[in-house]
Chain A
């Protein structure tokens, strides 16, 4: 089955700096890659997603890139703010699996003011 690896597990940046989180997936048939932000004790919130027919997507300070050949995808957050501090999960899913979503291990992001 699908396996998603995520690095780093913890990331600490200064306010205003950029943060990058990287993921790899194992199933080449995966075609949908969402990123979630989860605050302590709360539900995951979708922050951005990308489909396999697109190499890059941007939404204000957040961007995601996908390299299908290498089976890598990354989240980029620019101009980080303290409120960006949370746990971020990458995930992968595919249509013929009913789009069941397999999550990476998570990255705990700390943005220092």
Chain B
């Protein structure tokens, strides 16, 4: 299957600082990328959908000014957690699709474990 690489795999940051997470599709062009947050022993909660070259669509209850998403190219999307607080500590994971050609399968990055201290 296609490869999606997410970086970093883990990060520890101080409260009040910002953290950027990158999601790259290595061998295909990702027309659409999705960002999820997963708390321990819980499901993946969709945060936002981003299409290359346009603004992200955020799910209800997700603060767009806190979770900045950029999808500037067909192979890269970034999620920036601004002014992080301990409650933002979670596992963030991206997935990517190439919707051209009718493909429906989503490929996931390996996830980023964020710990805010």
Chain A residues within CB distance 8 Å of chain B:
1, 32, 34, 41-46, 49, 51, 89, 93, 95, 97-106, 108
Contact = CB atoms under 8 A, between A and B. Distances in A.
B78 interface: no
Contacts of B111: 41-43
A49 B105 contact: yes
Contact of A103 (B44, B51, B105): B44
A55 to B, nearest CB: 18
Contact of A106 (B42, B60, B99, B104): B42
B24 interface: no
B34 interface: yes
Nearest to A105: B43
A101 B110 contact: no
Contact of A100 (B1, B49, B108): B49
Interface string B35-62: 0100001111110010100000001100
Nearest to A97: B49
A113 B46 CA distance: 35
A4 to B, nearest CB: 9
A46 B105 CA distance: 8
Given A32-B104, A98-B32, A42 B43 contact: no
Contacts of B108: 43-45
Contacts of A34: 105-106
B93 interface: yes
Interface string B94-109: 0101010000111011
A104 B91 CA distance: 17
Contact of A43 (B34, B45, B59, B110): B110
Interface string B75-117: 0000000000000000101010101000011101111010000
B45 to A, nearest CB: 8
29 contacts: A1-B59, A41-B111, A41-B113, A42-B110, A43-B108, A43-B110, A45-B108, A46-B105, A46-B106, A89-B43, A89-B44, A97-B49, A98-B32, A98-B51, A98-B99, A99-B32, A99-B97, A99-B99, A100-B32, A100-B34, A100-B46, A101-B34, A101-B95, A102-B46, A103-B45, A103-B46, A105-B43, A106-B42, A108-B41
